[in-house]
Structure 1
């Protein structure tokens, strides 16, 4: 598991469930299956904690262009997904990202700054 790219933007959509002007971080993640068995990515759960250890809200706005992990990842193959989170600017130097992609493997945990 690796964070392939980080970018930042603001929500622009309006209407129910929208937060125009809210900043978010867009994380492109890559998972390579180094095991001899396929991995079901349909149960993947991501959690981001801010610098104080508090959960950060995911962003599903159209302009975030999120794309979840899905399907089955064959041995030796790589899958890419994009997730967005409303990470406050003051927390971007110290976040925790937990990626739990199935019940058979240990979660991937990243701690540190986003750049």
Structure 2
């Protein structure tokens, strides 16, 4: 559930485009993959590879190193574990006004838990997080 210390915008469907505080945010692609083990304690499993698109519509640069995408399953928001592979490539660097960046993130989400998934995009400490919620394939 949302925490007052970490404000969130109202959830929108996963296929929405959100314009907020000079930033356009969208989840543009969902792919079913097999998450790959990269280190001790990790477990391979069914995963979803998500492409996050950010367009800076503001006047100043956006620090992409502050952008975090998290995923949760079900109404109780069980956290989805993350993977780096195959193909993970988070956004990094600086996004100038008018530019678009895409990042790729992987989450361990079993096929039977994909009917209700929440994705939360945190991008700036002073702004409410963007929340997408719905079924993914």
Fold equivalence (TM over 0.5): yes
Residue in structure 1 matched with residue 26 of structure 2 by the alignment:
2
Distance in 1 of aligned mates of 2:39 and 2:121: 30
Q: What is the number of equivalent residue pairs in this alignment?
A: 112
Shift of 1:17: 3.9
Is structure 2 residue 108 aligned with structure 1 residue 86? yes
Residue in structure 2 matched with residue 23 of structure 1 by the alignment:
46
Distance in 2 of aligned mates of 1:41 and 1:10: 27
Pick from 57, 63, 76: which aligns with 1:34? 57
Distance in 1 of aligned mates of 2:94 and 2:39: 35
Residue in structure 2 matched with residue 45 of structure 1 by the alignment:
68
SS class of match (2:77): coil
Residue in structure 1 matched with residue 21 of structure 2 by the alignment:
none
RMSD after superposition: 1.8
Report which of the two has the higher share of strand. 2
Shift of 1:15: 6.8
Instruction: Judge conservation of contact 1:100–1:106 (CA < 8 Å) in 2.
Output: yes
Give every structure 1 segment of 4 or more consecutive aligned residues whose post-TM-superposition deviation is greater than 2 Å. 11-20
Unpaired runs of at least 5, structure 1: none
SS class of match (2:79): coil
Unpaired runs of at least 5, structure 2: 1-24
Shift of 1:70: 0.7
Pick from 31, 35, 41: which aligns with 1:11? 35
Instruction: Judge conservation of contact 1:41–1:102 (CA < 8 Å) in 2.
Output: no
Instruction: Judge conservation of contact 2:65–2:91 (CA < 8 Å) in 1.
Output: yes
